[in-house]
Structure 1
Amino acid sequence: MEHAARTLAEQLVRWAVGLTDMLASWDTSLLIALAITLTVLAGVTGRAVTGGGILRQTLWVMTTTILTLCSIVVVWVLAARYLPIPELTGMLQRFAAIQSTGMD
């Protein structure tokens, strides 16, 4: 179970770094609009979890989680653009590189 959790964390970090790199060239106004849109959609899908059977609830939870993670990455890109946190971005990229090579 620990290995599965570690693999999931590694994949999430790689995904976040890739999405961060893609969004880095976007205009600030687009990023703000995207963050608001994703947050609102995550809230709407979060409300949808309350209805339906277990399969439908699982689908809505996964959708809400994905939208929330995307929103977090967009906010991270905005924060990295205006706050002095390149050390943290570099740390995440080094973590992803270390994990992909299997070095601890």
Structure 2
Amino acid sequence: IQSALKRAESYLIGTTQFERTEKLQLADQYNLNELRDNNVLFSSEIKVPDFSAPDRLSNVILVVEGKKLHLSREGASMRAEKYLISTTKFERVAKLQFADEFRLNMLRV
């Protein structure tokens, strides 16, 4: 079952057959974390300065493709940190700058 879910998740990440909201519904229904992360937090439309809240535990509203998403800042921060650790899109220096600016402790290690 896990193998089938992984293949389905890979297909859904790459396809344009479904809208983003449909992909997010499937991600929530089947607990597909990678699909959810790719479609919510790491869209190129989200700019870091737009991501703000009074403190780390506050709820924030992100606007992605004109849709408002309500998130726990702590949860979003954890997923963002995991993404930055694994991605090769940014150089190590840029990752460390993010870590310092947003207090991402796992990224510094």
TM-score, scaled to structure 2: 0.29
Which of the two has greater strand per residue?
2
Greater RCO, 1 or 2 (C-alpha within 8 Å, sep 6+): 1
Larger radius of gyration: 1
TM-score, scaled to structure 1: 0.29
